[in-house]
Structure 1
Amino acid sequence: MQTDQRNPVPLFSLFIANAISLVGNVFTMIAIPWFVLQTTGSATQTGITGFFTVLPVVLAGFFGGTLIDRLGYKPTSIISDLASGITTAMVPLLYFTIGLEFWQLMVLVFLGALLDAPGSTARAALLPELAEQAGMPIERVTSLTHVIERSARLVGAPLAGFLIGIIGTANVLWLDAASFFISAGIIWIFIPALRIQKQAESGKYFEELRDGLRFIAHDRLILSIVVMIMLTNFLDAIFGGVLQPVYVKEVYGSALNLGLLIAANGGGAVIGGLIFAAIGHRLPRHATFVGAFVFAGFRFWVYAMYPPVWVLIVVTLITSLGAGPLNPIIGAIEFERIPPHMRGRVFGAITAGAWIAMPLGMLLGGVLTETLGTFIMMIGLATTYLVTTLSMAFIPAMKEMNRKPQASNVS
């Protein structure tokens, strides 16, 4: 797509819509597990909740990507936000009227995540054309996108912890529902309908789905990234979905402290992302990616020492600097290698592959945390994470991330 003048308004409108929606998602990320812990006291049921949060993302990524390509990126984003807003609003609506059983909560959590995932994928697929309109390098756009994502944690996490203490867990979900409706409105008003040049398609849904999977299988670098991120996401799911909230409840006893730790993680990643946005295009991608990943995992060792909460917050802030470059590097690689007309199905398949082990991580994390306790779990997690991230330095295919092929040349 060619433009005669730079127009940054659509790109920054997308940034704003994402920020609002992501803050709402952070509210849910804290409110739902805390609600389950408060009402059941069970790490296992908290793990089950995480399972029903992540499984639909895998399903939506795998089966919904082709639908995104067919419907278009802007319409998919709007429809997804509206549907997610309605589903999220049903949680407090039922809770305050006829009551909410655990199984009903799981159904709503499942539907909310199922409907939210295609919208996130569609918004990501809009970025290259909006970046071109704004005259901004793709590395900077992906960095800013993920800075916004981390900033949502920085702002949303402590705010969620504070609001849970003031207005209650169920009421926080009303705010989450509102964020989806606002995001849909911004996309509808400020994002133009982009014309993506399409190649001839088969017209058959599952053949187009297979095209996306085939593309990943034939690209050694993207396949390697998907496999390694699948492994680290599995470990992150054990930590963030179960181990961290149980640890914080046992050791510090406050949802606000959980929010502050998540905010510190977001704050460090924001700083790391901003640094990468400024100098990332001059750094070797592979060395930066591996070094940042290893550094980000050091916080697990400090958790195992049971320090005062302020020490843990500071350490989390510092080590999370390593998280800043990770998603921007992955995003830049994807936009460089994936043809524009295939973004929906390939992004969806990548998301499904990267998230596929996370539901198992949630379930396994709940059972193991209840059986082994937080100390043994934290030591095991820290060791496994170090071995997994360090191994990326020795995978030949991952060294290809230093090269920059153009997506238009990839078939």
Structure 2
Amino acid sequence: MSARGASPPVASVVGVARRRQLLPLLLLEAATLLSGTGNGVALVALPWIALERTGSPTAAGVLAAATALPLLLSSLFSGTVVDLVGRRRTSVGSDLLSAVSVAAIPLAAAADVLSVPVLVALAMLGAVFDPAGATAREVLLPAAAERAGWRLERVNGTHEAVYGVAFLVGPGVGGLLIGLVGATTTLWVTAAGFLLSAAAVTALRLPGAGPPVEAERPAGVWRGTVEGLRFVARDPLLRAIAVVGAALVALYLPMEGVLLPTHFSALGAPERLGAVVMALSGGGVVGSLAHAQWGHRLPRRGTFVTALVLTGVSILGMAALPPFPWLLAASFATGVAYGPIQPLTNLALQRRTPERLRGRVVGILVASQYAAGPVGYLLAGPLVEAVGLRPAFLGLAVALLAVACAALLARGLHGFDDPPAGPPAPGGAAGPGQPHPVAAAPPRAHGAAPPG
């Protein structure tokens, strides 16, 4: 048989092998997309329900703060739970429990028992389960990158772009469905997203996805969490990232969770709220994909602080509440500017954290950002009622820009350009002919990124 005749079968075998290498990464990103889309729907539906039933932005702020409090506690310990139980088990169990808690809201509405306290209680219950599932999936990214043969910069940028797509689709769908079927019925889409995410992770097969070996398990939830806290506290870069991230979340989340819903609720335009969040996420997709393509060529600290300052400037443009087309443009610019920040944060964690601490460090970094969220939420509603929507929005935006400018002077952020904390891992996820970009045990962390 000629070489020409033998080529198609060889090409077919190579193609099948390549698809098998990519399958874990595709399943992981499918789960991220599905659960993120459901959360994007809830992002606009939950505050809308509170505003419908009370007409008060303070009620929306209380709901958001009540949701953030269990997020703080559960994210603090969820990483240790992941390291104890295993990543696939934690992800599937968390998604199933989240689906049940979200589905209970439209069921309670159908039974005419959905008061604001019941809504707050169910939202808090759903918030308890979500961080563990997100953490469990995301700490598997380096293994999926290694299987696929992708650079970590490319995987991180792509992963954040997938989050952006989820929050591009979810809020837009949520805003449209609120107008068509009502806010409570819309939450069935969130429940469906969690169920489909659980199905995708169930099919996932990767090293490290199953139960951890006994020698690598933390010695209990509390002791394991303390060990992770000490690791973060002793690392100057991770400590600086935690402080900056907490400040960003405290100032930004009330804008998206209270101020923008209040503005568009007064206009009677839920679809415009969805469009603004979609513009934020669309810009984030562009920024993340650009970093995935070219980020490995740029200085990490310079890119990080520049992106922070540009994000602050863009949010200041949003805070002026200009005519709707300009608000959309400012929202898109905010997303583009923020795009590189989370992939760079993820890469720093991957390069500096041992694998056995992966889940704990992820959870602690997320918890550090959620810790300031409830304060911002609780202050936002009364601030709007005291000084008005636009002055409150501008005040938060100016404070956020000041934090971004202060990051220019943060000495800990110089660690972005340090070499990896350990020797290269054999067989890692570097491109052909490229040095491996991570330490021997790379983790993946998810912070509460402002634009979705």
TM-score, normalised via structure 1 length: 0.95
Note closer, same or farther for the CA distance 1:409–1:94 as it changes in structure 2 (3 Å cut). Answer: closer
Note closer, same or farther for the CA distance 1:285–1:166 as it changes in structure 2 (3 Å cut). Answer: same
Distance in 2 separating the partners of 1:388 and 1:176:
33
Q: CA RMSD in A?
A: 1.8
Q: Decide which of 173, 195, 200 is 1:159's aligned counterpart.
A: 173
Alignment correspondent of 2:305: 290
Contact 1:14-1:191 at 8 Å conserved across structures:
no
Distance in 1 separating the partners of 2:264 and 2:419:
43
**Once the 2 structures are TM-superposed, how far is the Cα of residue 66 of structure 1 from its aligned partner?**
1.1
Alignment correspondent of 1:240: 256
Note closer, same or farther for the CA distance 1:218–1:33 as it changes in structure 2 (3 Å cut). Answer: same
**Once the 2 structures are TM-superposed, how far is the Cα of residue 52 of structure 1 from its aligned partner?**
1.5
Contact 1:138-1:332 at 8 Å conserved across structures:
yes
Alignment correspondent of 1:207: 223
Distance in 1 separating the partners of 2:379 and 2:180:
33
Alignment correspondent of 1:265: 280
Q: Decide which of 31, 35, 40 is 1:17's aligned counterpart.
A: 31
**Once the 2 structures are TM-superposed, how far is the Cα of residue 56 of structure 1 from its aligned partner?**
1.2
Q: Decide which of 76, 92, 109 is 2:123's aligned counterpart.
A: 109
Q: Give the letter aligned to residue 57 of structure 1.
A: L
The within-5 A match list for 1:220-239 is 220-239=236-255
Distance in 2 separating the partners of 1:274 and 1:235:
26
The C-alpha deviation readout for 1:174-231, integer Å capped at 9, x for no partner, is 1111111111011102344636677555633322211100100111100110011101
The C-alpha deviation readout for 1:350-389, integer Å capped at 9, x for no partner, is 1111110101111111111111111211221121111100
**Once the 2 structures are TM-superposed, how far is the Cα of residue 130 of structure 1 from its aligned partner?**
1.1
Contact 1:144-1:274 at 8 Å conserved across structures:
yes
Alignment correspondent of 2:158: 144
Alignment correspondent of 1:325: 340
Alignment correspondent of 2:388: 373
Q: Decide which of 64, 67, 70 is 1:50's aligned counterpart.
A: 64
Distance in 1 separating the partners of 2:238 and 2:320:
36
Segment of structure 1 superposing worse, 40-49 or 195-204: 195-204
Alignment correspondent of 1:408: 440
Distance in 2 separating the partners of 1:261 and 1:18:
21
Contact 1:333-1:404 at 8 Å conserved across structures:
no
Contact 2:168-2:278 at 8 Å conserved across structures:
yes
Q: Decide which of 176, 185, 189 is 2:199's aligned counterpart.
A: 185
Contact 1:199-1:341 at 8 Å conserved across structures:
no
The within-5 A match list for 1:339-358 is 339-358=354-373
The C-alpha deviation readout for 1:328-356, integer Å capped at 9, x for no partner, is 00011111111111111111111111110
Structure 1 gaps of 5+ residues are none
Contact 1:143-1:277 at 8 Å conserved across structures:
yes
Q: Is 1:70 aligned to 2:84, yes or no?
A: yes
The C-alpha deviation readout for 1:288-323, integer Å capped at 9, x for no partner, is 111111111223332343321111112211232111
Alignment correspondent of 2:292: 277
Contact 2:87-2:136 at 8 Å conserved across structures:
yes
Structure 2 gaps of 5+ residues are 1-16, 423-438, 443-452
Contact 2:311-2:335 at 8 Å conserved across structures:
yes
Matched residue SS, 1:8: helix
Q: Is 1:131 aligned to 2:145, yes or no?
A: yes
Rg larger in 1 or in 2?
2
Alignment correspondent of 1:91: 105
Note closer, same or farther for the CA distance 1:202–1:82 as it changes in structure 2 (3 Å cut). Answer: closer
**Once the 2 structures are TM-superposed, how far is the Cα of residue 38 of structure 1 from its aligned partner?**
1.4
**Once the 2 structures are TM-superposed, how far is the Cα of residue 409 of structure 1 from its aligned partner?**
7.6
Segment of structure 1 superposing worse, 151-160 or 68-77: 151-160
Distance in 2 separating the partners of 1:381 and 1:171:
33
Note closer, same or farther for the CA distance 1:96–1:391 as it changes in structure 2 (3 Å cut). Answer: same
Contact 2:279-2:332 at 8 Å conserved across structures:
yes
TM-score, normalised via structure 2 length: 0.86
Segment of structure 1 superposing worse, 87-96 or 187-196: 187-196
Quote the sequence identity (%): 34
Distance in 1 separating the partners of 2:263 and 2:173:
20
Alignment correspondent of 2:445: none
Distance in 2 separating the partners of 1:59 and 1:91:
22
Distance in 1 separating the partners of 2:245 and 2:204:
33
Matched residue SS, 1:7: helix
Distance in 2 separating the partners of 1:303 and 1:204:
45
Distance in 2 separating the partners of 1:145 and 1:198:
30
Contact 1:368-1:377 at 8 Å conserved across structures:
yes
Matched residue SS, 1:331: helix
Alignment correspondent of 2:233: 217
The C-alpha deviation readout for 1:116-141, integer Å capped at 9, x for no partner, is 11000111111111111111111111
Alignment correspondent of 1:362: 377
Distance in 2 separating the partners of 1:374 and 1:54:
22
Distance in 1 separating the partners of 2:330 and 2:115:
39
Distance in 2 separating the partners of 1:204 and 1:315:
46
Q: Decide which of 399, 403, 414 is 1:399's aligned counterpart.
A: 414
Note closer, same or farther for the CA distance 1:192–1:245 as it changes in structure 2 (3 Å cut). Answer: same
Matched residue SS, 1:78: helix
Note closer, same or farther for the CA distance 1:395–1:165 as it changes in structure 2 (3 Å cut). Answer: same
Distance in 2 separating the partners of 1:409 and 1:272:
27
**Once the 2 structures are TM-superposed, how far is the Cα of residue 17 of structure 1 from its aligned partner?**
1.2
Q: Give the letter aligned to residue 225 of structure 1.
A: I
